[in-house]
Structures are given as C-alpha cells and as structure tokens.
Amino acid sequence: MESVCLFCRIVERDLPAATVFEDELSIAFLDHRPLFPGHCLLIPKTHYETLADLPERLTGPLFGNARLLAGAVELAMQSEGSFVAINNRVSQSVPHLHIHIVPRSK
C-alpha cells in the first residue's frame, strides 16, 4: 500500500525534496513554502505524528541534529540567528513530526 504521508513519501524517495542533511534517524530538506530562504524541515524517518509520540530514546539524537542544523543554516545563510519550532496538531500542515529551522536576522 502506498504511503499517504507526504513526509514518509520523501523518506521513501517517492517524492523529491531538496535534502540538506540525512543520517540513520532523520532527514532535513528545504521547505517548499519557506518563511525565509534557507528554511529547513527536520523530520524523523520513522512516522511519529507529534513530539509526544516520539520515543524518549530518540529525543536527544533528533534535537542534536536540530542543533547541528540550526548552526549550519545560520552559517550558510549568513544570518544573525535562527528560529527553531515545532507545531503539534494546530498549524501542523503535515501530520508527521517536523522541526522548522528558519534563519533570522534583525
């Protein structure tokens, strides 16, 4: 059966994405509707709908990747900082846990 989750389809390589990072746990790609250029989404490769669904053993590794990406995005985009956020259900356009990493400047 074909996966209907858009982010699972990206993980499965059924949908193209501009991948900027990948390891065994997660994948990050450019948002197709960015708030600012360089806006990335980091997702676990396994489907979890919200942060509360993420197993505790994966929390540290996933947020370690978010930390790494926040620094890389700031450097690559020559920004003054970054905005890192998660929506749980409300305003979550795709029901697959994803962390927004957005370069920001004053």
Segment 50-63, tens digit of pLDDT: 999 999 999 999 99
Q: Give the CATH number of the domain where residue 51 resides.
A: 3.30.428.10
| Active-site residue, selected from the candidate residues 39, 47, 96, 98 | 98
Domain span at 25: 6-104
Number of folded domains that form the chain? 1
pLDDT grade for 21, boundaries at 50, 70 and 90: very high
**Angstrom distances, CA of residue 30 to CA of 10, 26, 50, 78, 103:** 12, 14, 20, 16, 12
**Domain membership flag for residue 1:** no
Report the pLDDT value the prediction gives residue 1, as an integer from 0 to 100. Answer: 41
pTM of the predicted structure, to 2 decimals: 0.93
Whether 98 is catalytic is yes
Residue 24 lies in a domain: yes
Please check whether residue 76 lies inside any domain of the structure: yes
Determine the Cα–Cα distance for residues 92 and 68; give it in Å rounded to an integer.
23
For the chain, give the percent of residues with pLDDT over 90. Answer: 87
36 within some domain:
yes
Q: Is residue 60 part of a domain?
A: yes
Task: Give a yes or no: residue 79 inside a domain.
Answer: yes
Asked if residues 10 and 98 have their Cβ atoms less than 8 Å apart, the reply is: no
